[in-house]
């Protein structure tokens, strides 16, 4: 078969094909609907009494938390991005009550899925009343109560800085 025969066969095979329209803009998928807020919260068996099992939240350039018995080196590794981020939760636009429910559900699912490192984006509070970081305070105070959280710290500048928190979860599914 020579070149002309191949050309004829090809043209015959693609004769019904129409060129795709040229689009100079990206087609974004439609916005996802806001999640349905459920009434239930995290089971109390997965929460701890804050006064018995955690060290104090450190202050300095940024806030951080490491559970008693967990090495400070672990916190350093978390700050340095040692673990890949397995999942993210963005709480922008949620009320305090909605944010707590979303946080509970998100962290419970992450624990069940054996995620090791997650990011929670709470924002900096620039659009809230009095420009206070309401969700930031709420999230940081709540994270201390989860049994399966080993440490958390402010995200690095590449990951949201003071508008996000990096969370290290226990590596096994077993929750003591």
Position 29 in a domain: no
Q: With contact defined as beta carbons under 8 Å apart, do 164 and 121 qualify?
A: yes
Position 49 in a domain: no
pTM above threshold 0.85: no
Position 23 in a domain: no
CATH of the domain at 128: 3.30.1370.110
Band of the pLDDT at 68, cuts 50, 70, 90?
A: confident
Position 12 in a domain: no
pLDDT, tens digit, 9 for 90 and up, residues 97-132: 999 999 999 999 998 889 999 999 988 876 666 767
Structural domain of residue 98, as residue ranges?
Answer: 55-176
Q: 117-121 and 164-169 as β-strands: parallel, antiparallel, unpaired?
A: antiparallel
Position 45 in a domain: no
Position 114 in a domain: yes
The number of domains in the chain is 1
pLDDT exceeds cutoff 90 at 93 = no
d(CA 164, CA 121): 4
154 three-state secondary structure: strand
């Amino acid at each position: 078969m020579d070149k002309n025969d191949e050309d004829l066969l090809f043209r015959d095979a693609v004769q019904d094909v129409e060129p795709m329209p040229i689009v100079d803009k990206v087609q974004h998928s439609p916005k996802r609907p806001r999640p349905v807020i459920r009434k239930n919260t995290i089971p109390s068996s997965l929460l701890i009494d804050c006064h018995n099992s955690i060290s104090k939240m450190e202050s300095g350039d940024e806030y951080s938390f490491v559970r008693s018995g967990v090495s400070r080196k672990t916190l350093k590794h978390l700050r340095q991005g040692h673990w890949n981020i397995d999942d993210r939760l963005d709480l922008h636009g949620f009320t305090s009550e909605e944010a707590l429910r979303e946080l509970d559900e998100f962290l419970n699912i992450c624990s069940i899925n054996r995620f090791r490192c997650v990011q929670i984006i709470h924002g900096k509070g620039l659009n809230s009343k009095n420009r206070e970081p309401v969700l930031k305070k709420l999230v940081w105070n709540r994270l201390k109560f989860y049994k399966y959280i080993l440490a958390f710290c402010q995200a690095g500048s590449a990951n949201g800085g003071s508008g996000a928190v990096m969370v290290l979860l226990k590596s096994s599914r077993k929750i003591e």
